[in-house]
């Protein structure tokens, strides 16, 4: 496995750990300033909207994992196809389980760090 691949895998792990911890500033540091997120039923949005969404989580507890199913590096660009498993728990409510695939496009910036630049997220509530 190349050093770039290892760095991207570490970024994905850091993203999940920071998300579970509710550390929005740490998650924001893992994305480019021009990041674009695409999710079902919503127009594409950027870093500012992502931060606002994260601030609204409040007392909600999040747990989960991200399984990287495919990772390819092409110079200073890379993509990873992932499968996410998420459990969201609001105080006093039963847990909501969600899962689905994502496709992340990563860019290696001038400082040599990989960051998420584009994300297509198909995570939906599980049924059954």
Percentage of the chain with pLDDT > 90?
Answer: 87
Domain containing residue 64: CATH number:
3.10.450.50
Tens-digit pLDDT profile for residues 86-112: 999 988 999 999 999 999 999 999 999
Q: Judge whether residue 1 has pLDDT over 80.
A: yes
pLDDT on residue 68: 98
Among 21, 56, 42, 26, CA closest to 116: 26
Q: What is the mean pLDDT of the chain?
A: 95
82 pLDDT above the threshold of 90:
yes
For residue 125, which phi and psi values (nearest 5 degrees)?
-60, 140
CA distances 3 to 22, 23, 44, 70, Å, are: 28, 26, 31, 16
Query: What is the domain range of residue 106?
Result: 3-125
In eight-state DSSP terms, residue 46 is -
Contact 78, 4 (CB under 8 A): yes
* Counted domains in the chain: 1
Q: Taking 90 as the threshold, does the pLDDT of residue 59 lie above it? A: no
The whole-number pLDDT of residue 56 equals 78
Task: For the full predicted model, state whether its pTM sits above 0.75.
Answer: yes
Q: What is the pLDDT of residue 84?
A: 97
Within the chain, residue ranges assigned H as helices are 3-21, 24-28, 47-55
């Amino acid at each position: 496995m190349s050093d770039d691949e290892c760095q991207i895998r570490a970024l994905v792990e850091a993203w999940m750990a920071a998300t579970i911890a509710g550390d929005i500033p740490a998650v924001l540091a893992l994305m480019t300033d021009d990041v674009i997120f695409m999710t079902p039923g919503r127009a594409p949005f950027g870093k500012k909207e992502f931060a606002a969404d994260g601030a609204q989580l409040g007392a909600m507890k999040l747990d989960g994992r991200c399984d990287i199913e495919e990772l390819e590096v092409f110079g200073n660009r890379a993509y990873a196809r992932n499968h996410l498993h998420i459990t969201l728990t609001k105080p006093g409510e039963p847990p909501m389980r969600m899962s689905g695939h994502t496709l992340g496009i990563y860019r290696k910036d001038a400082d040599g760090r990989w960051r998420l630049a584009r994300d297509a997220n198909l995570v939906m509530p599980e049924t059954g």
